[in-house]
Amino acid sequence: MKVTILASYAPHAAKGLMQGSDRQAAVKALFESVGGKMTSVMFTRGIYDVVVNGEVPDQVAGMGISLAVRASGSLTEMVVLEELDMKAVLAAANKAASAYKPAG
């Protein structure tokens, strides 16, 4: 499953970054710890400080990454976007739409 992570560093983590913390190596190790693969890390300016793209085996692994990073306190904001199979989503939406009866 492909994921994109958007994140903003907490002040103490930004200080660690300035002091030379190798975030690319840390993120790579994080993904590998759950059987995944980091494909890119991009530092940005604006709302988010960093954008990470990678692959994880499943939602459990993705949530494990998210929970571990959030629990560290190193981020003030984190959004995890999961790639979807749009054909499967549309098939489910069409089934649901044919079964759903709106109120009124």
Residue 81 covered by a domain? yes
Query: Sheet containing 37-43: which strands, arranged edge to edge?
Result: 37-43, 50-55, 2-9, 75-82
DSSP states along 22-45: -HHHHHHHHHHHTT-EEEEEEE-S
Say what the pLDDT of residue 104 is.
85
Dihedral pair phi/psi, residue 85, rounded to 5°: -85, 100
Question: Which domain, by its residues, includes 30?
Answer: 2-99
From first to last of its 104 residues, what are the pLDDT tens digits of the chain?
Answer: 999 999 999 999 999 999 998 999 999 999 999 999 999 999 999 999 999 999 999 999 999 999 999 999 999 999 999 999 999 999 999 999 999 999 98
Residue at token pair 């710890």: 33
Query: Does residue 50 lie in a domain region?
Result: yes
On whether residue 87 sits in a domain, the answer given is: yes
The total number of structural domains that make up the chain: 1
Is residue 104 assigned to a domain?
no
For the entire predicted model, the pTM comes to 0.85
CATH number at 69 reads: 3.30.70
Give the residue from 71, 52, 62 showing the smallest Cα distance to 10: 71
